[in-house]
Amino acid sequence: MIASPKNHLQLWSAVALPPLLRIQPHHPTQQQPLAVILSASDKDARRTSTTQPSPNPTTSNKLSRNPFLYFLTLLYFLYLPVPARAQNFDKPVTNIDEEVTAFAYAPNGNVVFSVRRMFKTKKYDLQRDDIWLLESGGKRKRLLEGQKFTHDEKLFTYQVESFTWSPNARIIAVQLFTTTMDPDAGSREDTHALLLLDDSGHELRPNGKDQLVMQAQNPLWLRDNQTLVYLTNEDTPQDLFAMQYLNISSGPAGKAFEGRTFQGASRISGSNAAIAVERSRTFDGPARLQRLDLLSQDDKEVATLDAYAGGILVSPSGTHVAYFLDKEVLEIRDLTAPVRIARMRIGLGVLQWSVDESQIYLKRTLEKKSADLVTFRVPELRAYPPHSEIPVLEPEPRMLLHGLTVREYSLSPDGRFLAIVLPGKRNLQIFSF
């Protein structure tokens, strides 16, 4: 579980910020030193003990002669606040000294990550990222060597965009942004594609010989660990997607919710269901929040939305969902009682729920860009009469990593670790809470 907000921020002076970037080859399985608190007002950034001070002998003599002063001093020490346990955001427990383009935690705590790899041909510079697995015990192994990965015997380049693990943490759906070129014809095609790997690095080929599922993104796994539903914009208007089935053994299995289009979807953990935002092809009418059974293709409308601007994300328990109404306002809705909602003005960004669902983490910019990382307390959700004005709260953000900007971030499934990719060198660093 994640600690309460009052324990989330370690105090630092401005001089103490450089230790954030030190490389520490520890791993989360190793015992970590006890955290200390640095005084925010101490200009020389000296470490201060958390032990309460004791009076010197001269002071003791004065106290013994003045009972009232002794009583006040006793009260001071009895009620002096004990400093909260600090977070270890000064020393990463793991550092991957590579140019990391994407990463994701598995349900069992393993981490898959991609490393940017560039190589030259006679006329072109190509990018094909390597893919690695970091096991919870600290062992690292390469699952895919990008330079050896080819497609259709054409000039082919790709960058890894994201990873989605199967529920049993054995199979990885890798989302790629690909470019295929035919120099003789002078043609070029850019598209999203899915690559399926197991945790040993074996390529799974649901399409037969072709290892890529083209024009596919945002995979949603079913509980059988063999079937997924992905989004495709092959035959849809811009910013709208249709859904397709894919079985990793037998290949494409037809359309899901045929004839319908969606703006986004988020899987409900531990189920075959997802929460999706549906819109018509012509964008007439409001956005509708739908609960979709991905196996039976049944659906149930949850709510009609005032607007939708992206970022839909179901909470770990599957009881709440968050999404942006516009570039500023986040709406949180109770899926067990959909009339209960809350709105917060926090700015558009990349969301993640805390494990206990008491907080929302936010990188305050779009994906693949760098910004600071903050948290917000999830407010009380309330029911409002139809057509009534819903108040928009303006909560104060809690800054993490002392304002350091990050390019990517993710919480471990148990909430004990925070992994980030730094801008610049793009190292992957993991910090413990």
Look up residue 424 and give its DSSP letter.
T
Q: For residue range 3-47, what is the model confidence (pLDDT) as tens digits?
A: 443 333 333 333 333 333 333 333 443 333 333 222 333 333 333
* 74 vs 205 pLDDT, higher one: 205
**Distance separating alpha carbons of residues 314 and 276, to the nearest angstrom:** 10
Q: In this structure, how many other beta carbons lie within 10 angstroms of the beta carbon of residue 368?
A: 12
pLDDT digits (tens, 9 = 90+) for 278-292: 999 999 999 999 999
b (16+ CB within 10 A) / e for 234-267: eeeeeebbbbbbbebeeeeeeebbeebbbbbbbb
- The lowest-confidence range among 50-54, 61-65, 109-113, 283-287 is 50-54
Tens-digit pLDDT profile for residues 88-108: 577 899 999 999 999 999 999
pLDDT value of position 366: 83
What is the C-alpha separation between 325 and 348, in angstroms, rounded?
A: 9
| 432: β partners | 417
* pLDDT tens digits for range 369-407: 999 999 999 999 999 988 899 999 999 999 999 889 999
Coil, helix or strand at residue 422:
coil
Q: Is 361 in contact with 354 (CB distance < 8 Å)?
A: yes
Give the integer Cα–Cα distance in Å for 410 and 92. Answer: 14
Residues 194-237: pLDDT tens digits? 999 999 999 999 988 889 999 999 999 999 999 999 999 988 99
Euclidean distance between the first and final Cα of the chain, in Å?
A: 10
Spatial contact of 179 and 189, defined as CB atoms under 8 Å apart: yes
pTM comes to: 0.79
Q: Report the candidate in 23, 15, 135 with the shortest Cα–Cα distance to residue 428.
A: 23
40: its two tokens: 């925010």
User: Which residue in this structure is represented by tokens 């709105």?
Assistant: 343
- The predicted pLDDT at position 67 comes to 60
- Give the confidence band of 69 by pLDDT, cuts at 50, 70, 90: low
Element (H, E) at 59: helix 57-65
More confident residue, 203 or 153: 203
Tokens linked to 376:
């917000």
- Which residue's entry shows tokens 């811009």? 238
Cα maximum dimension of the chain: 99
pLDDT of 86:
45
Mean pLDDT of 242-251: 92
Averaged pLDDT score across all residues of the chain:
83
Radius of gyration of the chain (CA): 26
DSSP collapsed to 3 states, 336-371: CCCCEEEEEECCCCEEEECCCCCEEEEECCCCCCCE
